[in-house]
Amino acid sequence: MDAAADPRVQIVYSARFRAFSIRHLEPGEAPGTIGPRPDFRRIIQVWQIEFCPWTGEALPGDLNDEYRRAVEQEYGIEDWSPFERYRRLPAEFLSDAWWRKRGLATHITNPAAKARWRRPQIVRGKIVETTLATPVYEDWPKWWIGSYVFLPPGYRRPGGTPPHMCERMHSALGDIRAMISYLPWTREYGIRILNPRRAADYQRLRIRPISFCPWCGRKLPESLRPKLRETLSQRDYPISDPEVDASPALYTAYEYASELWWRKYKMRPIRRKLTKAEKRADERFARKMARQRKRDLAAAKKAAHAAKAAR
Ligand SMILES: [Zn+2]
């Protein structure tokens, strides 16, 4: 979880509320640096997480309710205006000091850490690459994730069928503003890495790979990066570091720039029922070919006969 201290990795820790989250960025919004001295003038949008994405352990959970209760009971402040309140509260309420002092360090609030919690269910879904064409009826039930075409390139999600997709992961992948990514070519999930001073709009896709789903805690499938590196090195294609550039190198064959190589999809011709006219045309063509074959056979026989006579 040391990634939460790295301003480039879009996972944040709020010491005041003891909450770990994945950033949610609007197009054009720069992540900014969230250091030890938080910027109170700014409210950030986040996707709070329940599990450590690297160890799979359930997190202790946020102290939002406890914070509000402490502020209300001890200072009689009931209005929930985030900016006004800070001027009236002591400094301990701006860091983790308030909950450590009140002995809340061992207080678990994460519903996922409790016995009666129900894991988010697995759902089916597909990330469809953005095109100008609207989804056709035959494509359903397919999930159109991030189907908005006029996106800045930094917000595009590569198309594919993520092997792990619980309800929560599905909604996160369904929202282009959630800074979590799925790489179909290496079967990796990861937290986006961004230059904190710039908006994600024109930043390349870079991730820090994760091994557990941050919302349901299930183990994510093994990364295929070592296997892809081996395969690509035989074909003289380079493979880059996901933290430097996660996208496939230019001119990489489409097979290796998608899920095709590891899913081993078979390309099947589309079969459909022929119309009556097409059927008649087919039969006509077959009869014509049969006649042609007959003529050819006869001609070959005649030629053979003539050659025999000549000898
Ligand atoms: Zn999950």
Residue 29 C-alpha to ligand 1 middle, in angstroms? 27
Write the pLDDT tens digit of every residue in 39-67: 455 678 899 999 999 999 999 999 999 98
Q: How many residues does the chain have?
A: 311
Whether 193 contacts 10, CB under 8 Å: yes
Cα–Cα separations (whole angstroms), residue 33 to 28, 125, 210: 16, 34, 22
- 160 is written with which tokens? 């594919």
Q: Is 181's pLDDT higher than 90?
A: yes
Residue 267 C-alpha to ligand 1 middle, in angstroms? 30
Residue 201 C-alpha to ligand 1 middle, in angstroms? 27
Say what the pLDDT of residue 278 is: 85
Residue 87 C-alpha to ligand 1 middle, in angstroms? 40
Whether 216 contacts 168, CB under 8 Å: yes
| Cα–Cα dist 9/15, whole Å | 17
Reduced DSSP (H G I as helix, E B as strand, rest coil) percent helix, strand, coil of the chain, to 5: 35, 10, 55
DSSP state of 58: B
| Cα–Cα dist 169/63, whole Å | 23
Write the pLDDT tens digit of every residue in 75-122: 887 766 655 556 677 888 888 899 999 999 999 999 998 888 999 999
Residue 175 C-alpha to ligand 1 middle, in angstroms? 15
Question: What mean pLDDT is predicted for residues 66-70?
Answer: 89
Say what the pLDDT of residue 141 is: 40
Question: What mean pLDDT is predicted for residues 3-29?
Answer: 88
Write the pLDDT tens digit of every residue in 134-177: 555 554 444 445 445 567 888 888 888 899 999 999 889 888 88
Residue 162 C-alpha to ligand 1 middle, in angstroms? 11
Residue 258 C-alpha to ligand 1 middle, in angstroms? 22
Q: Is 210's pLDDT higher than 90?
A: yes
Whether 34 contacts 48, CB under 8 Å: no
Question: What mean pLDDT is predicted for residues 292-308?
Answer: 93
What residue segments make up the domains of the chain, in order of their start? 2-113, 137-263, 278-311
Write the pLDDT tens digit of every residue in 119-143: 999 988 888 765 656 555 554 444 4
Write the pLDDT tens digit of every residue in 246-282: 999 888 888 899 998 998 765 555 567 888 988 898 8
Nearest to 59 by CA among 30, 20, 98: 20
Say what the pLDDT of residue 217 is: 92
CA dihedral 63, 68, 70, 75 (to 10 degrees): 150
